[in-house]
Amino acid sequence: MKFLIVDDHSILRAGISVLLKQENPDTVIFEASDGTQALALADAHPDLDAVLLDLQMPGGDGQSVLEEFGRRFPGLPVVILTSTEDPEEVRRALSGGALGYVPKSASSATLIGALKLVLQGDVYVPPLMLNERPSAPPAVPSAETLPRLTQRQSEVLRLVQRGISNKLIARELGLSEKTVKVHITSILKALNVTNRTAAIGAVQELLRSREK
């Protein structure tokens, strides 16, 4: 596994590096202290498995760096590791393309668990979001409201909106997991987004715009 750690604190980068190597001694770690360096390293190492990105770095907006990663490396998972525990920041990061959000106050086991979840193709949302007031359930897309999607793709997207993993979607629809992945890839392409979280946001925005 190859990971890129982006944080302006060298001690923190070193600590995370040790943690990841304890989990797997063969892990290769690259470190960057700012967004410019991080993007350059990602360019130089296209086989990265994931990025751990701090949102609060001097001289740059971590959210902009996150979105730039999404534009330039759409298949590269980015997990936010930052000190902010504001639910609004969590939502903003996930909407911006992050596949996970881990506060720096979390345990090492939580970080490792979040990374494993993201590498399996799922999204990690921190427990702090459980304290938020429940929002209305997401609108269910149909072939009529999303004409660029087939009926089957709409069914897959409906389950993605519920936060269900690819394995469970496959079981629910009687498909192979490989077929589900193909459908999700087609959905992301049709909606012009790079990950499941962004797809959900795109659908909700589309439906809101059609209600006006």
| CA end-to-end span of the chain | 47
Alpha-carbon distance of 18 to 27, in angstroms, equals 10
CATH class entry, domain 2-131: alpha beta
In the predicted structure, residue 145 carries a pLDDT above the cut 70: no
- pLDDT at residue number 134: 45
State what percent of residues in the chain have pLDDT above 70: 86
- Least confident interval from 39-53, 88-102, 122-136: 122-136
Question: Do the first three CATH levels of 2-131 and 151-211 match, i.e. the same topology?
Answer: no
In the predicted structure, residue 96 carries a pLDDT above the cut 70: yes
Asked if residues 4 and 38 have their Cβ atoms less than 8 Å apart, the reply is yes
Mean of per-residue pLDDT scores for the chain = 83
Mean pLDDT for 172-197 is 80
Asked if residues 77 and 99 have their Cβ atoms less than 8 Å apart, the reply is yes
Alpha-carbon distance of 54 to 102, in angstroms, equals 10
Highest mean pLDDT among 8-22, 108-122, 193-207: 8-22
Residue extents of the structural domains in the chain: 2-131, 151-211
Mean pLDDT for 164-171 is 81
The better pLDDT of the pair 49, 195 is held by: 49
pLDDT digits (tens, 9 = 90+) for 30-83: 999 999 999 999 999 989 999 999 998 766 678 889 988 988 887 788 999 998
- pLDDT at residue number 54: 94
- pLDDT at residue number 131: 55
Alpha-carbon distance of 104 to 61, in angstroms, equals 18
- pLDDT at residue number 60: 61
Alpha-carbon distance of 13 to 41, in angstroms, equals 15
**Is 151-211 CATH 1.10.10.10?**
yes
